[in-house]
Chains A and B, each alone.
Chain A
């Protein structure tokens, strides 16, 4: 066994996760969404980065909370979906005239509940994909590849990327400490009390990390002049905005899907340009960088395929992509299932992470 077993390039895992998340965001088919979550769990179980504390479960828990919340809110308030199948009727609370648009209580239909479940399941699946990416390659490993030219944007990305997994770790620590004060550390009231200290701790840590990167020379002035630096930063900022706008267009079909792709392309081009401009001046060097080889390509593709299939499917309006909430199982397009299952391939085709004692 080699001394330092190979780990997959972190960018490959993140591309895979983002691809799968894009796929999940385009469908409300519960079977497909559950498949996506299943694929995440399988791949993470097989290929987890041992340096992380497996944030996937935290993300899954948040997903479950979102679903439960949506269901309860739908029961109480309804969601505008009118169905035939009335499951039960809650006592209706009469509201004053000015609030006539809001309904409190009343009949609860199966269709409206299904709609709520499907819709929130989609969000849960997207979260599972992000959690999986976090668990497979810790964001800190990704950080090493973040170009120093993006300094100003980079620090923000540092804080953002490390915040969520740090949150999960700190939630565990604070919950454990909570039992020292005689609390079980579970339940809704407890969660509410934990929120502030956990957020504070995680935020402090992220800031500490940013300070440490600063004092260790991340983003040192590599440009000849301030003008150059501002140009590269400006280019990067506009590029990132373009990428974000484009992604938003792609992910949210209701908000101008036609604009999504071109915006994404332009943004990506701008961001790439700023990277090229920056990289040519960058003096940073690499120590044992992960290499991009065929398993990385396979992984990235395994994430891209379901994204492409589902985006194509939703644009063309295939059956069973957007499901009308109705009793019974929805239609299940075979190509979609095949594409999502394909995303599980990296669980076996990639090198196994080191499993030495921790």
Chain B
């Protein structure tokens, strides 16, 4: 269906090719997963399939890419639109229309389907992706996950034979991600559509994949069997980590397979778990952040109502909940980005009201890393950005650069912030915000586009900050990150708190929010591979 024949891609002005002599043949009706660290050339590989690289992006492509017999050198992306649908990483920049329903219909309109079939397909697609209640809503007013679903639906509705998706689930809550993957699974199995997707959250997708391609530094592997690929991939989901630890073979990819093999490991851990209940981080009194009877209204709609929340100083709390539950709005209200309609927010030991103080003082009490970290970055090089941040926060020269070094371990200071990978941009934005040394640090969806390595580093940085007394509240869909760093988990639904408790209890109690290790080890409540490894080490 898709053939790469000695394909290399070099962008204009780039010192090295982004793709290096790729030869692959993807058969029809396969679900192929592209795995690789950030900046390894995954996005470039995907964008060559519909010809956006090089027709739109520029650069040189040597070799040949053919899709359904059409050579992308001679067919422009618009001519390939009937064959290939491409869902980009950040769907909000790719919407052509304003309203969900129009967006779903757009592709079919350009293809010239007759209005009756468009109507029918619009209805079917809206149902398939659970968008019917949102059909008349402006796309700009949807939450990130809803936008992602709308973008996939819009592409799918046009009926392409190949669907290419770049990180389709990274902005979705676990349940919504499962829904999207289930519908992808269905269209692969029932309709014979070929799907190629790149995703960092392997724990969500790897068991759906028929084949895996590993990408590293522009080089690709052959089409591999997923279990074999996971055997020696540098990037692997927790369940594979557990399997490597316990020495299971063949490598299980799904929770179900892993549970079948896990009984011996569970027995081995019974004793260990009774002895080694992992100790909680020492935390201060619940005065770092207090929110009482909060109501936030955005665009005439009540997003948050009657919300009470108190955070202990030096603790890490994750805020979870489905897309559109009000997580970002709550963080925005705490950081005084959105006005508060009712209720009060107080920060830190000196009870600062963030809405009453000027920004200059507010940044000492609270720092927010927004969902799009690039909004915080203005300078034309990383080094200049660090200098500007020192000046902004009145910190000693070099503070931000030192923080950045600690967080990321090496970003070239001469690079332009917009040329950084998603993960590096987040690290830079985090360093900028930390230069203000806020008492309370808020992070909105920080794991989007991060590979396991970057995520692990972020987890360590956050734990380190908490140990130094910073109170951290992060909104995330990433249960694995929550399992790694959180003391406490708060689950939000429709602007109200539905669950609030210790991370271990909350994460192991709810099937939707349980990390993979917990699902495998239930009824024991281990959260991470590291914990299990630790326990085995101690019990042995």
Contact = CB atoms under 8 A, between A and B. Distances in A.
B301 A287 contact: no
Contacts of B82: 217
B363 A182 contact: yes
Contact of B337 (A176, A181, A214): A176
Nearest to A211: B56
Contact of A286 (B85, B96, B109, B418): B109
A220 B137 contact: no
A218 B154 CA distance: 14
B138 A211 contact: no
A314 to B, nearest CB: 37
Given A180-B367, A285-B113, A208 B94 contact: yes
A182 B393 contact: yes
B320 to A, nearest CB: 23
Nearest to A354: B136
Interface stretch (B279-287, B288-296, B354-362): B354-362
A229 interface: no
A182 B377 CA distance: 13
Nearest to B50: A215
Nearest to B86: A215
A138 B52 contact: no
A284 B93 contact: no
B110 to A, nearest CB: 4
Interface string B124-139: 0000000000001111
Contacts of A287: 102, 105, 108-109, 115, 118-119, 122
Nearest to A193: B378
Contacts of B119: 287
A141 interface: yes
A358 B102 contact: no
Interface string A287-306: 11000000000000000000
Contacts of A179: 336-337, 359, 362
B25 interface: no
B115 A182 contact: no
B158 A217 contact: yes
B245 to A, nearest CB: 41
Interface residues of B, number: 75
A82 interface: no
Interface string A143-177: 11000100100000000000000000000011011
Interface stretch (A104-112, A196-204, A317-325): A196-204
Contacts of A95: none
Q: Interface centre among A177, A181, A194, A221, by most B CB within 10 Å?
A: A181
Interface in B432-451: 432-433, 436
Contacts of A141: 97-98, 102
A231 B115 CA distance: 29
A140 B96 CA distance: 7
Contacts of A182: 359-360, 362-363, 392-393, 436
Contacts of B337: 176, 179-180
Contact of B109 (A176, A285, A358): A285
A197 B377 contact: yes
Interface stretch (B73-81, B169-177, B304-312, B458-466): B73-81
A227 interface: no
A161 to B, nearest CB: 12
B77 A50 contact: no
A164 to B, nearest CB: 16
Contacts of B56: 211, 214-215
B11 interface: no
B459 to A, nearest CB: 23
B376 interface: yes
A358 B375 contact: no
* Of A140, A193, A285, most B-chain CB atoms within 10 Å: A285
A288 B363 CA distance: 49
Contacts of B141: 51, 358
Contact of B389 (A181, A208, A209, A215): A181
Nearest to A144: B97
A283 B112 contact: yes
Contacts of A217: 78, 81-82, 107, 110-111, 158
Interface in B414-438: 418, 432-433, 436
Nearest to B299: A358
Contacts of B88: 208, 212
B158 A181 contact: no
A275 B119 CA distance: 26
A92 interface: no
Interface string B348-386: 000000000011101100011010101111100000000
A4 B81 contact: no
A337 B337 CA distance: 43
Given A176-B375, A184-B358, 12 more contacts: A51-B98, A173-B375, A177-B375, A177-B376, A182-B360, A212-B88, A216-B85, A220-B78, A283-B112, A285-B108, A286-B109, A287-B115
29 contacts: A50-B138, A151-B78, A176-B337, A177-B376, A180-B363, A181-B376, A181-B392, A182-B360, A183-B392, A196-B378, A197-B377, A200-B418, A208-B90, A209-B94, A211-B52, A211-B94, A214-B76, A215-B84, A216-B107, A220-B111, A284-B109, A285-B109, A285-B113, A285-B114, A285-B115, A287-B105, A287-B122, A288-B101, A356-B136
Q: 8 closest pairs, A vs B, by CB?
A: A217-B81, A283-B112, A212-B94, A287-B105, A208-B93, A51-B138, A177-B375, A51-B98
Interface of A: 3-4, 49-53, 138, 140-141, 143-144, 148, 151, 173-174, 176-177, 179-185, 193-194, 196-197, 200-201, 204-205, 208-209, 211-221, 282-288, 354, 356-358
